[in-house]
Amino acid sequence: MYEYYQPPMTRQHFLRRAVTIALIGLCCGGVITAFLKADLFKGIKNKTADFRFLCRGAIKTSDKIVIIGTDEEALENIADPFIFWSPYFADIIKALAAGGAKAIGLDFLQTIALNKRVDDKDLDGIMTEALMDAENVIMINLLRWDETTKNLKAINPLPCYLHASDPDNVGFSNLTIDNDGCVRRQTLLLNDYEGNIYAYIGLKVIAKYLDSPIEKKGDCIYVGNYKIPVNSYNEMLINFAGPSGTFPILSFYKVLQMAQQGNADFFADNFKDKIVLIGPGNIYSQDFKPTPYYRSNRYSGTRQTLGIEIVANVTNTILERLFIVSAQQWQVILVILFFTVLTSFTSFKLSPLSGGIVTFAVAAGYIYLCIVLFNRYNLLLDLIYPITGIPLAYTAVFAYRYTIEDKEKRKIKRIFKHYVSEEVVEELLQYTGEIPLGGNRVHATVLFSDIRSFTSMSERQDPQQTVGILNEYFSTMADIILKNKGTLDKYIGDGILAFFGAPVKREEHADLAVRTAIEMITQLEVLNKKLALDNPLEIGIGIHSGDAVVGNIGSKLKMEYTIIGDTVNTASRIEGLTKELKAGILITEATFSRLTATYNIVPEREITLRGKTKPILIYSVKVE
């Protein structure tokens, strides 16, 4: 086990770092919030909503809604031009009313009076009579902006139709279309500057079905016991049940045949107490619009959604209470800030690869959450802005780490690579706190070694040979020191100063020092055989444990990481006794008392070092 020496301001450093990380996340969240306010990714945001519909797939529709579509069969078998179909619509409306249909939505707008008569009957009169008898038919009008009056202008059905039924039995059919041409929401109420209120046909049909008025209160529209959430524009998100064809569409021609045959059972069985929507259902009507399911891979080959199907989906959303609830903007901002701050904290302790994997996992998890919440609870969380914030925070964190924090770590690596092994350097780089380069008091074990009689030996040899011998010797001994996680302080002539227990604190620093000394003596024998000198090298090693000061010490021109203090002086003096006591390794009582492993150690004697008053017991470590 090991730990790093904690500087006095560790807690403050931790708080400072935490604040920095949080600020990076908050700043990234602020940038994404600005994008959100500007609605910068509106198009992509809509596509992510479409994506959730595709993931969910088609859902069951209400059995209270029935569509009758004017199909190709009707066009082929009815000889009259479509504009003269009023008697046929009238036959179906009468049969539906007699069969017990509660509300009928007619998605056709007749604005031209017809003079043509069939069997001496007025076509408009036939339709008027049917509307008067049914009393539950909701017709459509179109709202247009009038540049002259600077107000909305309604293009209504024929006056005779309005008076025959009820002037209030009209709903506008204008669709709410997004910039990409897709229908995702529908305006339910519109107001003009004169105080007139217009309701969408789907809402009108529901009101007729429930026999209830329509009221707007706050952010909701009330009809019967239904509370419909809308935005400030009175728009409701449509919870499309599926692509075109999800709602079964009955053939207009076949229903007409049943009406003309007087098949009352057919109408009672299929339309009693139901909402019936009649509209264009053939491919020639041009009444198609893209919806979230259109042109998806999952529903490849599907056509755009019929206008009458869009009415059915609006009606189904209300009738089945499948209201899509969107998160409010302040809630989206909180989600953005949560993920940017979370990403900042997770990325700070990880490598770029690991951070990227975690970032991807967080983003994927959020996408999955959004899909599940939509599928189960019709909750539409904003997807694009939080997802954009996650990689932004990841990038910002690693940019900060590279320019600020990793710059400091590169400095640490540059300083320590000459003193400690690569393993210890990596340990230092993993440290999340502050490396106390300025000086710190530690409990360590100091090793001091020296070559005996090397000065006289060097005087008899060629200088280049002397340097070669020293380089070979220092390389061998340095490798041993670094391998045992020691810190190589410096070379002093032919001597070596090393210490154990800093900058990484290790409880076993005394054992590491003794183990290093034994390996140095052993490897010296191997080195002597390699050098083949007339007088083989002999070294003495002194080891002492105690308190010392470590840190970057020096001047502006030259700094080095070193150890100073009485412990160093004592180790040096102990090394000086090795020749006198004819011992390769001498250790003090302070070192001996910390050893946990078993060594061949022999007590030598008590000595009083110069400048000391209290004697210390020294031991000799035998190399077997």
How many Cβ atoms are within 10 Å of 547's Cβ, its own excluded? 11
Give dist(CA 264, CA 102) in Å, integer.
16
Which residues make Cβ contacts (< 8 Å) with residue 120, sequence separation at least 6?
A: none
Question: Which contacts (CB < 8 Å, 24+ apart) does range 74-82 have?
Answer: 74/251, 74/252, 74/253, 74/256, 74/282, 75/282, 75/284, 77/253, 78/253
Could you say which residues of the chain have pLDDT below 50? Answer: 1-9
Give dist(CA 403, CA 457) in Å, integer.
52
The DSSP-derived string for 565-600 is: SHHHHHHHHHHHTTTTTT-SEEEEHHHHTT--S---
Collapse the DSSP code of 442 into the 3-class scheme (helix H, G, I; strand E, B; otherwise coil) and give the result. Answer: strand
Q: Does the domain at residues 436-621 carry the CATH identifier 3.40.50.360? A: no
pLDDT at 431: 55
Angle between helices 329-348 and 10-37 (to 10 degrees): 140
Residues paired with 137 in a beta bridge: 104
The string of pLDDT tens digits covering residues 13-56 is 678 878 888 999 999 999 999 999 999 999 999 999 999 999 99
End-to-end Cα distance, the chain: 29
Give dist(CA 500, CA 510) in Å, integer.
7
Angle between helices 384-400 and 329-348 (to 10 degrees): 30
* Inter-residue contact 432 to 8 (CB < 8 Å): no
Vertex 396: Cα angle to 393 and 402 (nearest 5): 140
pLDDT at 68: 96
* Inter-residue contact 425 to 413 (CB < 8 Å): yes
Q: Torsion angle, CA of 55/59/65/71, rounded to 10 degrees?
A: 60
Give dist(CA 45, CA 297) in Å, integer.
19
Tokens of 388: 């954009």
The string of pLDDT tens digits covering residues 52-99 is 999 999 999 999 999 999 988 888 898 888 888 889 999 999 999 999
Tokens of 587: 């250790």
User: Does the predicted model carry a pTM greater than 0.75?
Assistant: no
Break the chain into its structural domains and give their ranges: 2-53+325-414, 63-319, 436-621
The phi and psi torsions of 321 (rounded to 5 degrees) equal 55, 45
* Inter-residue contact 488 to 496 (CB < 8 Å): yes
pLDDT at 296: 57
Tokens of 602: 């022999």
* Inter-residue contact 343 to 393 (CB < 8 Å): yes
pLDDT at 2: 39
Residues paired with 197 in a beta bridge: 191
The DSSP-derived string for 194-238 is: TS-EEEBHHHHHHHHHHT--EEEETTEEEETTEEEE--TT-EEE-
pLDDT at 7: 42
pLDDT at 71: 86
* Inter-residue contact 152 to 198 (CB < 8 Å): yes
pLDDT at 427: 55
The DSSP-derived string for 414-431 is: HHHTTTS-HHHHHHHHH-
Give dist(CA 496, CA 509) in Å, integer.
17
